[in-house]
Amino acid sequence: MSVTRVHFPEREQYLAQIDRLVNSHVLHGSESLCKLLRYLAEHALDHPGSSLKEYQIATEVFGRSPTFDPQSDSTIRVQAGRLRLKMVEYYASEGAEDPIQVDMPKGTYVLSFHRREASAARLQAVSHSAQHDEIVAGAKADGKWKFAFVVLLALLTVASAAVALWLAHNSRAPDRASDPAPAAFATFWKNFVSGPQEPWVIFSNGAFVGRPETGMRYFDPVRDSRDQILEHYTGVGEVLAVHALDHTFALLHRQIRVKRGSLLSLDDVKNNDMIFVGSPAENLTLRDIPSTHNFIFRALDSGPRKGDLAIVNVHPQTGEAEYWVGSPSHANLIEDYSVIALVRGLNPAKSVLILAGTTTIGTQAAVEFVCQQNSLEELLPRLQVSDAGELKPFEAVLRVKVTRGVPVESAIVALRGGKP
């Protein structure tokens, strides 16, 4: 039943259902989609029946400027499409038994809330009761109606049995552990799931001095003692990135081992496949192992952005920039750049994947790029695969658009090691 007029008790139930979606494995970690879902839900409940325009969503949800042009910028359509797919995935898995279903019909940006059908058992009980009432009525009717009632009862019995079987089949949540991962995931992550041991995820925790209550800043080797370093903090992007990786490897039926960069040893790197989350500016271990050769992180030593962390293009190709740098540190973060690189480790038999931005949000964007089916399907055709079906080393740079601290769009701007 589609809801157009929402009373207070129903509103609370529908908002509770939105909370279930936001906190699900399917959506958790996708902050931009969660923000969009909550906005659409509030609008649907507060303004039933009214439509939404892309421009309104762009400016009110994603902080786009008043000059936003939906004809030339497809961000909202892309995000809405992703949200639809996520909701379908949720109700096909962990939300299979939820009493309320949330939909967003194609071509609109308006959510609808539906009460889901009764259980198969309840339907069977109702149908049996209806059959009994029909039989009693048939016994009291004239003989000429008996045949019609018998036919009606037969049709009702067959229909109720069919509906009950259909509901019983569709109400079972699929066993996610037995479902094969999408082909793009299996191809991209093969190097990290084919070995006997779980891969290690190493997240950066920057070297700070000071304390949160009195003020913290990055460690400066010129004026600070190493005894003052506080290594207990990391960025929000790294936190969400680790969650996204954990979810991806669950789809691949593997576990990951998580460790902070300051506790990593070179022996660990030699003996395991590694995924580094964060740039060498904070993940200091990356400075001691084989790393990127074409796109490297370096603080600019001259010019108006002197001191800002940039991704330097060692061998620029035609039309490429010499370096990429995100929004200035004194301004709101609206753009960042990230590196995605697959390289050989200290032990050539092991793989190292580097996922890093010039800020914590850029790092989050790099991880989300390789943990989403649509972006992997965009990247994989441009990469080389060995005869054994494993990806060959590559390095890529992403441009990341950021809105209110959330990466909302990423695009490849440079690639090395891909197909000629």
Which tens digit of pLDDT belongs to each residue from 324-345? 999 998 889 999 999 999 998 8
- Residue 216 maps to which CATH number? 3.30.379.10
Phi and psi for 162 in degrees, rounded to 5? -65, -45
**Whole-number pLDDT of residue 51:** 83
Q: How many CB atoms lie within 10 A of CB 238?
A: 26
Domain of 137, in residue numbers: 120-170
Mean pLDDT over each residue of the chain, to the nearest integer: 80
Is 62 within a domain?
A: yes
Please, which residues have CB within 8 angstroms of residue 157's CB and are 6 or more apart in sequence? 127, 131
Is 263 within a domain?
A: yes
Query: Where among 94, 115, 136 does a domain terminate?
Result: 115
- Quick one: angle between helices 120-140 and 143-170, nearest 10? 180
Q: Average pLDDT, stretch 103-116?
A: 86
CB-based contact 323:297 (threshold 8 Å): no
Residues 190, 330: one domain?
yes
Is 2 within a domain?
A: no
Residues 202, 126: one domain?
no
Lowest-confidence segment of 76-80, 147-151, 198-202, 276-280 by average pLDDT: 147-151
Alpha helices for 107-142 (secondary structure H): 120-140
| pLDDT grade for 283, boundaries at 50, 70 and 90 | low
Residues 127, 228: one domain?
no
Q: Distance between CA 98 and CA 113 in Å, rounded? A: 12
| pLDDT grade for 218, boundaries at 50, 70 and 90 | confident
Query: Where among 96, 115, 134 does a domain terminate?
Result: 115
Is 239 within a domain?
A: yes
Residues 125, 147: one domain?
yes
Is 79 within a domain?
A: yes
Q: Average pLDDT, stretch 394-398?
A: 96
Query: DSSP assignment of 278-334, as one string?
Result: S-TTT-GGGGSS---SSEEEEE--SSTTTT-EEEEESSPPTT--SEE--S-TTS---
Domain count, the chain: 3
Is 3 within a domain?
A: no
Q: Average pLDDT, stretch 303-313?
A: 91
Has residue 5 got a pLDDT over 50?
Answer: no
Residues 92, 231: one domain?
no
Side-chain half-sphere CA neighbours of 394 within 13 A: 23
Residues 225, 266: one domain?
yes
- Of 211 and 169, more confident: 211
Residues 297, 226: one domain?
yes
Residues 285, 330: one domain?
yes
Residue type, 122: R
Is 158 within a domain?
A: yes
Residues 287, 155: one domain?
no
Residues 266, 285: one domain?
yes
Query: Where among 115, 146, 161 does a domain terminate?
Result: 115
pTM exceeds 0.75: no
Residues 141, 284: one domain?
no
Residues 226, 162: one domain?
no
Q: Distance between CA 309 and CA 206 in Å, rounded? A: 14
CB-based contact 408:32 (threshold 8 Å): yes
Side-chain half-sphere CA neighbours of 125 within 13 A: 5
Is 1 within a domain?
A: no
